[in-house]
């Protein structure tokens, strides 16, 4: 696999972030792990949101602190995104979990998601999280395999009323 690293979003990545957004829009996919990038028409509003998403005093009521990362390759191209929630609220314990991630459509099936999830677990360990909840839609075979490859144990399948889909809930012990 190519050399990967997780970096915080900066203004230097604006054009590539917008391309990432457009590629998902073209495939009509939600950009999981992107702090809802697919819902923003204005880059500056999204960028402002992610700059403060890990500061409890600056996030909206009911949200939890989270850290947004871009996954970039050796050429500094964004190949994935990952959002790591520092702890869980009622919604996240049921549906969202600790980690959300996506891989650029033309970069899939290269082990990128597996690598991002592994790095996310290391980040959570630094936050003193001992067990991570990771979820995926029941029809997302790639994500399921990513979770299983990182030690995920299926706990349950729940119905997500908002997205009208069944969601698999996996726990991973962080060592």
d(CA 67, CA 82): 8
Dihedral, CA of residue 41, residue 102, residue 121 and residue 6, to nearest 10: -70
What is the chain's mean pLDDT, rounded?
Answer: 95
Short-list 5, 20, 3, 162, CA closest to 102? 20
pLDDT digits (tens, 9 = 90+) for 14-46: 999 999 999 999 999 989 999 999 999 999 999
User: What pLDDT is stored for residue 26 in this prediction?
Assistant: 95
β-sheet with 4-7: strand ranges across: 4-7, 66-73, 78-85, 99-103
User: What pLDDT is stored for residue 97 in this prediction?
Assistant: 96
Q: Domain limits of the chain?
A: 4-128
User: What fold is seen in the domain 4-128?
Assistant: Aminopeptidase (3.40.630)
Band (1; pLDDT cuts 50, 70, 90): low
Segment 71-75 mean pLDDT = 97
Please report the sign of the dihedral spanned by the C-alpha atoms of residue 127, residue 34, residue 56, residue 60.
negative
Segment 137-142 mean pLDDT = 95
Close Cβ partners of 162 (under 8 Å, ≥ 6 residues apart): 95
Q: Structure pTM? A: 0.94
């Amino acid at each position: 696999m190519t050399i990967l690293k997780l970096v915080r979003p900066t203004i230097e990545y604006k054009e590539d972030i917008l391309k990432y957004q457009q590629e998902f829009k073209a495939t009509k996919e939600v950009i999981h792990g992107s702090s809802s990038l697919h819902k923003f028409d204005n880059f500056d509003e999204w960028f402002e949101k992610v700059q403060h998403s890990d500061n409890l005093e600056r996030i909206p009521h009911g949200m939890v602190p989270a850290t947004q990362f871009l996954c970039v390759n050796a050429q500094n191209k964004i190949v994935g995104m990952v959002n790591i929630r520092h702890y869980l609220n009622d919604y996240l314990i049921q549906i969202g979990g600790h980690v959300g991630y996506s891989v650029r459509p033309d970069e899939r099936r290269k082990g990128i998601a597996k690598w991002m999830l592994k790095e996310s677990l290391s980040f959570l360990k630094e936050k003193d999280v001992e067990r991570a909840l990771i979820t995926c839609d029941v029809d997302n075979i790639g994500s399921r395999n990513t979770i299983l490859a990182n030690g995920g144990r299926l706990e349950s399948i729940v119905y997500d009323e908002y997205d009208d889909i069944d969601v698999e809930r996996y726990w991973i012990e962080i060592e």
